[in-house]
Amino acid sequence: MERRVGNTRIVLVRGDITRQGVDAVVNAANPSLMGGGGVDGAIHRAGGPAILDECKKIVKEIGRLAPGNAVATTGGRLPARHVIHTVGPVWRGGGRGEPEVLRSAYVESLKRAEELGCRSVAFPSISTGAYGYPLEEAAQVALEAVIGHLEEGSPLEEVRFVLFSDTVLAAYETVLKKLKP
């Protein structure tokens, strides 16, 4: 499924983010940037030690990455040239700024991609795994954040949501169909 926003295509696909031939993939990282489970662990394993080496340098400079922020490293052995690491919010019921932090994670990741001169970027579903963000609510925030950013004008040609299961893909498709073109 896809939709155009200005000159950018938003594409929803089921797949493995570590195999995407895009300029940058977004990593749903933890604040330590040292890898972990889920998407984070998969990206670090597939991309190899160069990603971790750059993450260590970043942490040495800035400390832990705050939720809602984003930094970039090499893609290592991934097909993507860059990995944009962002930390989403841990779900605590929705009343502690979770939607704003999640929105920021997507927008800051798009900004890093644009700063790097990327034409294409692939996102996972941030915060919906171990961080427990309800899937439909996360999809709504994610798609609204990306569409809102693209409506302001962007050099990006494609924003791809690479969703790991049929259930996650269906949730994103449902939300995208409901959003006004």
Say if CB 73 and CB 83 are below 8 A apart: yes
Question: What DSSP character marks residue 130?
Answer: T
Sign of CA dihedral 73, 104, 96, 139: negative
Say if CB 152 and CB 8 are below 8 A apart: no
Selected catalytic residue, list 16, 40, 53, 166: 40
Say if CB 142 and CB 134 are below 8 A apart: no
Q: 48 is written with which tokens?
A: 């190899």
Residue 172 CA to residue 163 CA, distance in Å, equals 9
Phi (first) and psi of residue 86, to 5 degrees = -135, 150
Q: Catalytic site residue 40?
A: yes
Residue 110 CA to residue 146 CA, distance in Å, equals 8
The total of other beta-carbon atoms located within 10 Å of residue 78's CB is 23
Catalytic site residues?
A: 40
